């Protein structure tokens, strides 16, 4: 992988920028209880950083390889690329797991001199701009645009997707603006439309009526600027549009509309500005355009076809069409010329335009082939018509029907293609349709009593609003229940078929359906921050990301069209010479043409039968449908890279807590080894554990609440809190040092473990429970807490099914050996690594990779993130922590283990579809071009007329898209339905 990147850098001589191969998954940051939110730069989302090092002493690629391997062995390394030519190494890493100094020291330990040059811009200084690009017809078009965008100074990464006709650009706003990106696309000859700039996640556009003067605009702007949380205001006087960027925690669009409507003696009226055409409306317009063009071409082409191929066999009509007007010029030829000219130059103008734009930038696309082929037929026909009009003996054959029928069939093919491509993105459209249009807003008084109900546009919902959800209604935004109880159908978001019970304090997701009871919910995430918006963005990013296998199509597209043009001229020239020197019998030449015209037909057929579009659509259409199907089943796949790797998985490493087990451990027993009150014991332990995100810590805190009467008890302050991943925690509580964790932590801290505690640990391990040791004042273990985390009901069956799929299963956990072995034995896993730290989990993954396995890691916690990053495919349980979801390639929304099998099976089905697409696209060109060139003609007399060749070309693209669309009918393996039914029975 690094070698490929390195060779690319040498060719293009560009600096390394963003290294992330995965689409960005929006992180939802949580903070430990009892701690205030840190500064923005310290947030989890901001912990992903880039560092650039100068490395002295590298002489060859082997040196670069040793440096790269050394860096990648460190925990928290996401990617490392070493440039031996420029003596540089760029590293993408997680700052909460490793730092620049550790990386620098590691390079020096490998035998080279390293210096940190500078910190690359963090995620916060990188913006993502999305642009819709109109006019791309094949892979050459998208490759040209992508190359131009990547060449702009300040652009870190650019991806252009032919299937979605969109570009996603990661850029530094300090070096380049989105307007410059749009201008660059225009310069390539295509029409760009800005979808989003990435400047502000929370942004709203309002149309304001009633403002007549600049002074009035100034009053409105000042009034809005005075609102807390307003970050930026832009006014377009011509469109009467005002754009506001804001902090959703402090304000929202409802406040803006209220301020505008009450300013200027209530003469001004504001509303949401009509949204610009989205992907679906753009598709619809494109479909209508091709449909109209095809119908108009038919109106002219059908008469041309009839006069050239049908009426000539009807005696009366034949005589009329062959009536001479001037010299040898007939009425039929004049009619065909007149009818085919509008098709060639008006309806077919799009092909001339596309050819000009491509050739202007030194590339050639499908439009060039069509324009050359149809022009050859048309202008040769014009030549024969003019010659017959000026000669009394010349009798030539025109090919007007060839040019007009070619254009008609190609337009039909493009119409069917865009119709089919529109269906590949139905998953996103369905997700976006989940959000309700209206919501019921409640107004509460100081006592919490409802004093008013009001139906509002769902776009007006702001954070902390209280909403009423009636039975059968959709939940308008993410939030939590503050009153009522009901069952909520979450299948449209998570894929979970069973309704989920909701009561006070439970979280609800926007877009889900309330089944029976009335709920009052408090909004926590609205607009672009909601789970639904995040899923839509994830699926959109996944569909933009190219699978590595697509590089084949990109490489072929670079020389495909020039090669076809060369073959076309070679075919014409070979047949022309053969006819000129009588290398074949005259009987081969049809009676209606001469040897030159026969050669011309073969040359045109070669030119128009070749299809680069089918190659370009083979991968992205399958990826689009596959990721869409996955999203509908609760399996979010982050793009083609993850999809391609997942189908080759041969080994899966499972975390234990929350993955193989339910993840909701409970305290089952407590044994004190010192005379003290149980509530005092738990007061100290809970105060230390309340700051930890680990499920075992949460179980202890939850159990400790039983000893407190008040609902929201405040635990004593914990100072000098330290979390040792995979081992436990340390803190100072009430001036006492509290250490809570496993046996390894006690030994590392020089804490004496009495024999009684050892016996208690052995007992808990035999019962597949986890024993937690507690030491107070750093001297002696004073208590043992036994915690049980039940296995998921289908864990054994999932492991068994994976074995039948030739996938090896391994368990890696931070828990003790006894408990780990007991759990592994129950589920049927033979290889167990216990008491593993996060970096040891990542090391095990790398060991398996070195042994030749394609490794997937399934986990849910922060301590799993290094292994998730190190694995070929990281799978995060959807209910897990946000950093785990951020680090993973696949997110299992339902938190069901059987979805691991669904993800692998879906990726295998999708990739087999990609292979089939490539087989068809390559096979079509490999066999079609020789047939069009006349290889079979000497033996069988079979000749492919240009208009049939054009129809075949159009059909090839449609067939590839339709082949991908068959994935929409994907059904997960039947054995999983049996597992789910069994799981329900157990529950």
| pLDDT on residue 880 | 46
pLDDT interval class at 124 (50, 70, 90): very low
**Helix 2-12 and helix 61-72: axis angle, to 10°?**
130
DSSP letters, 343-408, are IIIIITHHHHHHHHHHHHTT---HHHHHHHHHHHHHHHHHHHHHHHHH-SS------HHHHHHHHH
**Helix 974-986 and helix 795-804: axis angle, to 10°?**
160
pLDDT tens-digit series, residues 784-840: 999 887 888 788 888 988 998 899 999 988 777 887 888 888 889 988 888 787 778
Residue 118 reports pLDDT greater than 70: no
What's the mean per-residue pLDDT of the chain? Answer: 80
Of the chain, the percentage scoring pLDDT greater than 70 comes to: 86
Q: Can you read off the two tokens belonging to residue 948?
A: 């049939």
- Reduced to 3 states, what is the DSSP secondary structure of residue 467? strand
Cβ proximity of 842 and 856 under 8 Å: no
List Cα–Cα distances, 109 to 10, 309, 498, in angstroms: 27, 80, 55
As a whole number of angstroms, the distance between CA 600 and CA 375 comes to 12
As a whole number of angstroms, the distance between CA 296 and CA 708 comes to 80
> Regarding predicted confidence, which is higher, 974 or 915?
915
Which run of H or of E encompasses 333?
helix 331-342
Q: Can you read off the two tokens belonging to residue 887?
A: 């680090």
Mean pLDDT across 333-339: 92
As a whole number of angstroms, the distance between CA 639 and CA 889 comes to 8
pLDDT interval class at 426 (50, 70, 90): low
| pLDDT on residue 69 | 79
Contacts of 578 (CB under 8 A, 6+ apart): 584, 595, 599
Name the E strands within 135-236. 155-161, 166-171, 191-196, 203-209, 230-236
- Reduced to 3 states, what is the DSSP secondary structure of residue 881? coil
| pLDDT on residue 349 | 92
List Cα–Cα distances, 927 to 423, 878, 935, in angstroms: 29, 47, 10
| pLDDT on residue 39 | 41
Cβ proximity of 290 and 268 under 8 Å: no
Beta bridge partners of 560: none
| pLDDT on residue 23 | 32
As a whole number of angstroms, the distance between CA 128 and CA 168 comes to 7
pLDDT interval class at 531 (50, 70, 90): confident
By the 10 Å C-beta count (0-12 exposed, 13-18 middle, 19+ buried), 782 is classed as: buried
Cβ proximity of 167 and 131 under 8 Å: yes
As a whole number of angstroms, the distance between CA 627 and CA 893 comes to 14
Residue 418 reports pLDDT greater than 90: no
Which of 567, 477, 575 lies closest to 522 in space, CA to CA? 477
| pLDDT on residue 297 | 93
Which of 346, 364, 345, 344 lies closest to 355 in space, CA to CA? 364
pLDDT tens-digit series, residues 560-582: 888 888 999 999 999 999 988 88
- Reduced to 3 states, what is the DSSP secondary structure of residue 329? strand
Per 3-state DSSP, the chain is made up of helix, strand and coil in percentages (nearest 5) of 50, 20, 30
Q: Can you read off the two tokens belonging to residue 574?
A: 């070979």
| pLDDT on residue 200 | 53
Report long-range pairs for 494-497 (Cβ below 8 Å, ≥24 apart): 494/634, 494/878, 494/893, 494/894, 495/632, 495/633, 495/634, 495/635, 495/893, 495/894, 495/899, 496/634, 496/894, 496/896, 497/980
By the 10 Å C-beta count (0-12 exposed, 13-18 middle, 19+ buried), 274 is classed as: exposed
Q: Can you read off the two tokens belonging to residue 890?
A: 């696949």
By the 10 Å C-beta count (0-12 exposed, 13-18 middle, 19+ buried), 190 is classed as: buried
Residue 148 reports pLDDT greater than 50: yes
pLDDT interval class at 863 (50, 70, 90): low
| pLDDT on residue 265 | 64
| pLDDT on residue 977 | 62
Contacts of 466 (CB under 8 A, 6+ apart): 441, 442, 444, 482, 520, 521, 522, 523
End-to-end Cα, the chain, rounded Å: 46
Residue 14 reports pLDDT greater than 50: no
By the 10 Å C-beta count (0-12 exposed, 13-18 middle, 19+ buried), 554 is classed as: middle
DSSP letters, 484-511, are --EEEE-HHHH---S-EEE-TT-EE-TT
Mean pLDDT across 910-924: 87
Mean pLDDT across 365-387: 85
* Size (the chain), residues: 987
pLDDT interval class at 13 (50, 70, 90): very low
List Cα–Cα distances, 804 to 810, 812, 821, 843, 856, in angstroms: 15, 21, 22, 27, 17
Q: Can you read off the two tokens belonging to residue 758?
A: 């050892």
Residue 878 reports pLDDT greater than 70: no
Which of 155, 167, 209 lies closest to 15 in space, CA to CA? 155
Cβ proximity of 198 and 129 under 8 Å: yes
Strand order in the sheet with 666-672: 666-672, 780-788, 770-776, 736-741, 728-733, 718-724
As a whole number of angstroms, the distance between CA 88 and CA 58 comes to 9
**Residue 238: count of CB within 10 angstroms of its CB:** 5
Mean pLDDT across 887-902: 82
Low-confidence winner among 45-49, 131-135, 264-268 (lowest mean pLDDT): 45-49
Name the E strands within 202-266. 203-209, 230-236, 241-246
Low-confidence winner among 292-301, 507-516, 587-596, 822-831 (lowest mean pLDDT): 587-596
Mean pLDDT across 345-359: 87
Residue 125 reports pLDDT greater than 70: no
* Catalytic one of 655, 789, 860, 889: 655
| pLDDT on residue 36 | 38
Phi, psi dihedral angles at 322 (to 5 degrees): -90, 5
pLDDT interval class at 8 (50, 70, 90): very low
Residue with tokens 């324009």: 371
Mean pLDDT across 761-776: 86
pLDDT tens-digit series, residues 286-332: 888 989 999 999 999 999 989 887 887 788 888 888 888 888 888 98
pLDDT interval class at 342 (50, 70, 90): very high
Residue 987 reports pLDDT greater than 70: no
Mean pLDDT across 656-680: 84
State yes or no: is 655 an active-site residue: yes
Mean pLDDT across 382-395: 84
As a whole number of angstroms, the distance between CA 465 and CA 442 comes to 8
| pLDDT on residue 9 | 36
List Cα–Cα distances, 254 to 13, 201, 250, in angstroms: 50, 17, 12
Which run of H or of E encompasses 148?
helix 139-150
| pLDDT on residue 428 | 66
| pLDDT on residue 55 | 84
pLDDT interval class at 130 (50, 70, 90): confident
DSSP letters, 583-602, are -S-GGGS-TTS-HHHHHHHH
Mean pLDDT across 235-243: 82
**Residue 847: count of CB within 10 angstroms of its CB:** 12
């Amino acid at each position: 992988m690094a070698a490929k990147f390195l060779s690319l850098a040498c060719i293009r001589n560009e600096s390394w920028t963003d290294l992330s191969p995965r689409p960005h998954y929006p992180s939802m940051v949580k903070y430990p209880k009892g701690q205030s939110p840190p500064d923005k730069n310290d947030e989890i989302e901001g912990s992903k950083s880039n560092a650039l090092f100068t490395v002295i002493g590298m002489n060859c690629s082997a040196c670069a390889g040793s440096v790269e391997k050394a860096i990648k062995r460190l925990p928290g390394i996401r990617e490392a690329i070493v440039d031996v030519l420029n003596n540089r190494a760029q590293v993408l890493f997680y700052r909460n797991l490793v730092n620049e100094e550790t990386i620098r020291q590691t390079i020096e330990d490998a035998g080279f001199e390293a210096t940190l040059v500078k910190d690359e811009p963090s995620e916060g200084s990188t913006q993502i701009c999305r642009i819709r690009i109109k006019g791309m017809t094949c892979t050459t078009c998208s490759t040209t645009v992508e190359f131009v965008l990547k060449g702009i100074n300040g652009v870190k990464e650019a991806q252009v997707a032919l299937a979605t006709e969109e570009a996603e650009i990661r850029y530094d706003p300090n070096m380049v603006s989105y307007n410059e990106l749009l201008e660059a696309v225009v310069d390539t000859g295509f029409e760009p439309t800005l979808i989003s700039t990435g400047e502000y996640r929370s942004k709203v556009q309002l149309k304001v009526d009633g403002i007549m003067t600049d002074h009035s605009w100034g009053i409105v702007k000042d009034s809005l600027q005075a609102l807390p949380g307003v970050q930026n205001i832009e006014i377009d006087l011509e469109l009467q549009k005002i754009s506001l960027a804001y902090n959703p925690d402090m304000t929202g669009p409802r406040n803006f509309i209220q301020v505008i409507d009450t300013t200027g003696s209530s003469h001004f009226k504001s509303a949401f500005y009509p949204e610009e055409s989205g992907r679906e409306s753009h598709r619809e317009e494109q479909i209508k355009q091709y449909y109209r063009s095809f119908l108009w071409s038919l109106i002219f082409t059908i008469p041309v076809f009839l006069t050239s191929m049908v009426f000539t066999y009807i005696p009366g009509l034949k005589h009329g069409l062959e009536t001479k007007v001037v010299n040898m010029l007939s009425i039929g030829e004049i009619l065909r010329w007149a009818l085919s000219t509008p098709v060639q130059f008006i309806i077919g103008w799009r092909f001339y335009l596309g050819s000009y734009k491509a050739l202007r930038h030194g590339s050639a696309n499908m439009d060039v082939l069509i324009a050359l082929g149809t022009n050859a037929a048309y202008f040769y026909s014009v030549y024969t018509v003019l010659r017959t009009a000026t000669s009394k003996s010349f009798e030539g054959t025109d090919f007007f029907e060839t040019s007009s029928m070619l254009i008609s069939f190609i337009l039909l093919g493009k119409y069917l293609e865009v119709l089919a491509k529109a269906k590949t993105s139905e998953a996103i459209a369905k997700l976006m349709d989940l959000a309700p249009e209206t919501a019921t807003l409640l107004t509460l008084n100081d006592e919490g009593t409802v004093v008013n109900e009001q139906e509002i546009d769902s776009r007006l919902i702001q954070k902390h609003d209280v909403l009423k959800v009636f039975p059968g209604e959709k939940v308008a935004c993410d939030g939590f229940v503050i009153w009522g109880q009901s069952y909520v159908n979450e299948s449209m978001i998570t894929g979970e078929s069973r309704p989920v019970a909701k009561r006070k304090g439970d979280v609800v997701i926007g877009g889900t359906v309330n089944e029976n009871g009335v709920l009052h919910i408090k909004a926590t995430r609205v607009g672009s921050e909601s789970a639904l918006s995040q899923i839509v963005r994830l699926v959109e990013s996944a569909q933009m990301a190219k699978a590595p296998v697509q590089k084949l199509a990109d490489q072929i597209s670079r020389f495909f069209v020039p090669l076809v043009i060369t073959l076309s001229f070679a075919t014409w020239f070979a047949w022309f010479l053969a006819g000129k020197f009588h290398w074949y019998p005259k009987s081969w030449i049809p009676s209606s043409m001469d040897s030159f015209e026969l050669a011309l037909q073969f040359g045109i057929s070669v030119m128009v039968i070749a299809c680069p579009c089918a190659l370009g659509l083979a991968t992205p259409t399958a990826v689009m449908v596959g990721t869409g199907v996955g999203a509908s089943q609760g399996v979010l796949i982050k793009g083609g890279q993850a999809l391609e790797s997942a189908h080759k998985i041969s080994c899966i490493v499972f975390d234990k807590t929350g993955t193989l087990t339910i993840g909701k451990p409970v305290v089952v027993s407590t044994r004190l080894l010192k005379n003290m009150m149980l509530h005092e014991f738990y007061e100290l332990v809970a105060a230390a554990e309340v700051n930890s995100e680990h499920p075992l810590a949460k179980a202890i805190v939850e159990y400790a609440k039983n000893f407190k009467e008040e609902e929201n008890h405040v635990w004593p302050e914990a100072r000098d809190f330290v979390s040792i991943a995979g081992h436990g925690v340390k803190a100072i509580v009430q001036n006492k040092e509290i250490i809570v964790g496993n046996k390894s932590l006690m030994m590392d801290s020089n804490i004496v473990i009495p024999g009684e505690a050892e016996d208690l640990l052995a007992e808990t391990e035999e019962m597949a429970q986890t024993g937690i040791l507690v030491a107070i004042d750093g001297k002696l273990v004073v208590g043992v807490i036994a915690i049980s985390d039940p296995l998921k009901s289908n864990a054994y069956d999932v492991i068994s099914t994976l074995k039948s799929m030739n996938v090896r299963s391994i368990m890696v956990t931070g828990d003790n050996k006894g408990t780990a072995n007991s759990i592994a034995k129950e589920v049927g896993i033979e290889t167990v690594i216990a008491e593993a730290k996060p970096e040891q989990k990542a090391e095990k993954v790398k060991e398996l990779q070195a042994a030749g396995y394609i490794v997937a890691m399934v986990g849910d916690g922060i301590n799993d993130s290094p292994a998730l990053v190190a694995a070929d495919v990281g799978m995060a349980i959807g209910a897990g922590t946000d950093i785990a979801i951020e680090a993973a390639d696949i997110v299992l929304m339902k938190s069901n283990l059987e979805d691991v099998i669904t993800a692998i099976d879906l990726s295998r089905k999708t990739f087999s579809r990609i292979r089939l697409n490539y087989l068809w696209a390559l096979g079509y060109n490999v066999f079609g071009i020789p047939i069009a060139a006349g290889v079979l003609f000497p033996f069988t007399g079979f000749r492919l007329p240009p208009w049939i060749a054009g129809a075949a070309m159009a059909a090839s693209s449609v067939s590839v898209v339709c082949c991908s669309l068959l994935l929409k009918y994907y059904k997960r393996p039947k054995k999983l339905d049996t597992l789910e039914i069994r799981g329900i029975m157990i529950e």
